[in-house]
Amino acid sequence: MAGFDKVVTSYADAMHGLEDNMTIIAGGFGLCGIPEGLIAEVKRMGTKGLTVVSNNCGVDGFGLGVLLEDKQIKKMVSSYVGENALFEKQLLNGELEVELTPQGTLAEKMRAGGAGIPAFYTATGFGTPVGEGKESRQFNGRDYILEEAITGDFAIVKAWKADRYGNCMYRHTAMNFNPMAATAGKITVVEVEEIVEPGELEPSQIHTPGIYVDRVIQGSFEKRIERLVTSKGA
Amino acid sequence: MALTRDQIAMRVAQEFQDGDYVNLGIGIPTLAANYVPKHIQVMLQSENGLLGMGPYPTEDQVDADMINAGKETVTASTGASIFNSAESFAMIRGGHVDFTVLGAFEVDVSGSIASWMIPGKLIKGMGGAMDLVAGAKNIIVTMTHADKHGNSKLLPSCTLPLTGVNCITRIITDLAVLEVKDNAFHLRERAPGVTIDEIKEKTAGKLVVDGDIPEMKLS
């Protein structure tokens, strides 16, 4: 690599440095906008004791769900984990720990982590089990709880296009948590559908500026659909 | 007669005003999109990052990168915008979404709601529900008035773990429309043919019946 060129050509290079007991922040919502090849590489590496921060944990046999098969995940930080039988089994067996976090709080924890904000107050979760044991405070007569930011040793991100400098664009709702995840990793790896030369992307259309990105890899994606629903049309 | 799910959705849709931004939860709330009055325009927010949710796609339109908060394939309507999850919850938590409609297991007279967790059953997570009840300007809870064993879901105090405290002001059930204020459920409308006695019997929390209670108009 030279200068700002962030492109790596193998998944081994993309995930180089990942070790047992590290924290990975992963973009994606359900199976939409997930870094499929990077997840597969983590499975191939067999890294254990991982804390994974992601809105969901995939499904049985796809997405982050594949990391459960060899018990690579120690702890999952998510807002919703109901799509996965193996997850349920490991949770009930005590083999897996889960920290359920409201979806907006999870997004904000990643955003704050990437922006150097250690914690923030939110009304979400006050008076509920989510607020238990957390500092609370009133502002303008309303109760808020203090939520701490999240950062990861690695962030794994799926983008649509990136240039060699790591400037990224996302496509449709495959954006979801990816831009926040990208800011919150010590090492941020982006798997993309298409790598282009610097200058090809319109600067004002960039969603994630390359400063957040350490490595870019050309991926290939199955893009499995979790719930296919169609209408007959007009 | 108690209302059907579609009739509840029909009554919910009457609450919307022209120009409202609305977030609909999974289940009965989602059905309300089918009954938005013809003369008004509302824009649906899907919390995974879509404002201006359109209908389900035709087979030709299916795109794995276009889904809604229920992870179903979806389309964008004319004038839609797409953004990241932090932005999506900034508009929710910042009070910019006019209406959120969601289901519940229980609501109590203080306006607290329990909708995400039944101890002893597997916990799947709250998704965006806690953010929605903390942030929306107006929240409507839709649910059956009682569970299938006949136990009231409108209680003096919620028994299940809460989703939010003191945040619910309006409830539309299969039997009634109620407002929550001053530590009581205030009966505003009843389903066609449903008596006040039946509503009283199925409301465990304090119920205030003031004056004539009209029947809902469903059309």
Q: Mind listing the pLDDT tens digit for each residue in A124-178?
A: 999 999 999 999 999 999 999 999 999 999 999 999 999 999 999 999 999 999 9
Of A100, A103, A111, the CB nearest to B131: A103
| pLDDT value of residue A142 | 95
Mean pLDDT within B134-148: 93
Average pLDDT, chain A: 96
Q: Cβ separation of B125 and A78 shorter than 8 Å? A: yes
Question: Looking at chain A, which residue has its C-alpha nearest residue B53?
Answer: A173
| pLDDT bucket at A233, cuts 50 / 70 / 90 | low
Mean pLDDT within A201-210: 98
Residues 6+ apart with CB under 8 A from B197: none
Task: Kindly tell me if the per-residue pLDDT of A34 is higher than 80.
Answer: yes
Q: What is the DSSP letter of B148?
A: T
Q: What is the DSSP string of chain A?
A: --TT--B-SSHHHHTTT--TT-EEEE--BTTBT--HHHHHHHHHHT--SEEEE-S---BTTBGGGGGGTTT-EEEEEES--TT-HHHHHHHHTTS-EEEE--HHHHHHHHHHHHHT--EEEESTTTTSGGGTTS-EEEETTEEEEEEE---EEEEEEEEEEEETT--EE--GGG-TTHHHHHHSEEEEEEEEEEEE-TTSS-GGG-SB-GGG-SEEEE-------SB-------
Q: Could you give the domains of chain A?
A: 11-218 (3.40.1080.10)
Of B46, B86, B125, the CB nearest to A107: B86
Mean pLDDT within A77-83: 93
| pLDDT value of residue B1 | 87
| pLDDT value of residue B219 | 73
Of B58, B66, B88, the CB nearest to A231: B58
Find chain A residues with C-beta within 8 A of B125's C-beta.
78-82, 100
Least confident of A82-86, B92-96, B203-207: A82-86
HEC string of A168-231 equals EECCHHHCCCHHHHHHCEEEEEEEEEEEECCCCCCHHHCCECHHHCCEEEECCCCCCCCECCCC
**pLDDT one-digit tens code per residue, B86-114:** 999 999 999 999 999 999 999 999 999 99
* Neighbour-count burial for B22-49, b at 16+ CB within 10 Å, e otherwise: bbbbeebbbbbbebbeeeeebbbbbbbb
Find chain B residues with C-beta within 8 A of A140's C-beta.
none
Q: What is the DSSP letter of B166?
A: S
Question: Looking at chain A, which residue has its C-alpha nearest residue B158?
Answer: A128
According to DSSP, the residues that pair with B178 across neighbouring strands are: B171, B187
Which of B47, B59, B179, B215 is catalytic? The answer is: B47
Pairs of residues, one from chain A and one from chain B, whose beta carbons lie less than 8 Å apart: 170
Task: Kindly tell me if the per-residue pLDDT of A48 is higher than 60.
Answer: yes
| pLDDT bucket at A227, cuts 50 / 70 / 90 | very high
Both structure tokens of B1:
């007669």
Q: A103-115 vs B85-93: helix axis angle to the nearest 10?
A: 120
Mean pLDDT within B178-193: 97
| CATH number listed for the domain at residues B5-208 | 3.40.1080.10
- The domains of chain B are located at 5-208
Are the CB atoms for A174 and A31 separated by under 8 Å?
no
Task: Kindly tell me if the per-residue pLDDT of B33 is higher than 80.
Answer: yes
Of A80, A178, A230, the CB nearest to B57: A230
Active site residue B15: no
Find chain A residues with C-beta within 8 A of B70's C-beta.
227
Both structure tokens of B32:
């309300």
**pLDDT one-digit tens code per residue, B52-65:** 999 999 999 999 99
| pLDDT value of residue A25 | 98
Q: Cβ separation of B64 and A32 shorter than 8 Å? A: yes
**Nearest CA to CA, how far is B65 from chain A (Å)?**
5
Q: Cβ separation of B131 and A124 shorter than 8 Å? A: yes
Task: Kindly tell me if the per-residue pLDDT of A234 is higher than 60.
Answer: no
Find chain B residues with C-beta within 8 A of A114's C-beta.
none
Using alpha carbons, list the distances in angstroms from residue A91 to A88, B26, B123: 5, 25, 10
ipTM confidence score: 0.95
| pLDDT value of residue B122 | 78
Question: Looking at chain B, which residue has its C-alpha nearest residue A76?
Answer: B125
